[in-house]
Amino acid sequence: MPDNELNPVVGIDLGTTFSCIARWTGDRPEAYRLSDGSQTVPSIVYIQESGTPLVGRFARQRLIIDPENAVEKAKRYMDDDNKKFTLRGKPYTPVDISAIILERLKGDVEKMFPSTAGFEFAGAIITHPQYFKYPQIARTQEAAEQAGLPVIRLLAEPVAAALDYGFSQYQGLDEERREKILVFDLGGGTFDVTVLEVINELNSLTFRVLAVGGDDMLGGTNFDEAFASWALKEHNISLDAVDKVSRDRSMAKLMDAVIEAKIQLSTLEEVYLAVPSIVAGQHLDAEVTREQFNEII
């Protein structure tokens, strides 16, 4: 049975680089289309001069111009008690940044319904990497509560994937069966591999986690950084002599370009990587093949 559209239980992927919110329609999960028309939002927060936060694509654009007041990849610091991001002179913790992202997701869904419709979240299930330890899980829940979400539970990402697989494969199956599956989850900022056993018996479907492994500091963002470092070295461009603000802006422009080039190389064999005026009087203009990119990463 689907949940009530006006009182949904939502599933949220609070990602290191992208986040998403969805609901179960009765036969499949369906991601909400957010206010900018997309189904995912970059997990980037920018604080404007007024103190109002921007989240997502607009924040990514501001990151290039004013990196001092933007934060990305906050999820990587959920286990750091002392981590603070200073934006517009005000300190923010990883929990604060995560809460702002969750507020954006929550607010976008609420805006889809008129105020008279009586829309209200019945609950939220938020996923986290399998290897997250208790402090990281607890802080994820704290961020959700700070965002005003009624948390039902937090669920490990590979278990969520296994549940989706199990219900789609075994729903209505009246024979006993068991199998082992491997969930390989290489995200933007984290990586984990999980082996699970799925057991279908009469009137019960059981999921058992057998083994986990991972690295909370490895993901697509590391590929981006390796790509950017290669581009600078290959074209003899140094940012050492420029001031910190200019260096941060140059790196933000470069990272934006390498991410776009990386995406294009998923379908093209060769792309141009171009960043005008990466430093005064120097442009970065390079051809990169998919083979080169694979070697770089």
Tell me the pLDDT tens digit for each residue of 239-296: 887 788 888 888 988 998 999 999 999 999 999 998 888 887 788 888 999 999 999 9
Nearest CA to 127 out of 215, 192, 38, 171 is that of 192
Q: Cβ distance 290 to 265 under 8 Å? A: yes
Q: Residue 30: beta bridge partners?
A: 23
% helix / strand / coil in the chain, to the nearest 5?
Answer: 35, 35, 30
State mean pLDDT over 22-48: 90
Q: Which residue has the higher pLDDT, 210 or 202?
A: 210
Element (H, E) at 155: strand 151-156
Element (H, E) at 63: helix 57-65
Q: Residue 91: beta bridge partners?
A: 86
- Amino acid at the residue 168: S
Beta pairing, strands 85-87 & 70-72 = unpaired
Q: Which residue has the higher pLDDT, 28 or 236?
A: 236
- At residue 129, φ and ψ (nearest 5 deg) are -60, 145
Give pLDDT, residue 2. Answer: 47
Measured distance CA(112)–CA(33) in Å, rounded? 9
State mean pLDDT over 185-190: 89
pTM of the complete model: 0.86
Give pLDDT, residue 3. Answer: 62
Measured distance CA(142)–CA(192) in Å, rounded? 23
Res 21 pLDDT > 50: yes
Tell me: the pLDDT tens digits for 162-182? 888 888 887 777 778 889 999
Measured distance CA(278)–CA(248) in Å, rounded? 11
Nearest CA to 227 out of 249, 266, 191, 260 is that of 260
Measured distance CA(32)–CA(187) in Å, rounded? 20
pLDDT category of residue 91 using cuts at 50, 70 and 90? very high
Tell me: the pLDDT tens digits for 127-161? 998 888 899 999 999 999 999 999 999 999 988 88
Q: What is the DSSP string of 239-265?
A: -TTS-HHHHHHHHHHHHHHHHHHHHHT
Token output for 232: 């600078």
Measured distance CA(292)–CA(270) in Å, rounded? 9
Measured distance CA(233)–CA(195) in Å, rounded? 40
Q: Cβ distance 94 to 142 under 8 Å? A: no
At how many degrees (to 10) do helices 220-234 and 244-264 cross?
A: 110
Give pLDDT, residue 131. Answer: 81
End-to-end CA distance of the chain: 45
Q: Which residue has the higher pLDDT, 167 or 22?
A: 22
Measured distance CA(182)–CA(200) in Å, rounded? 17
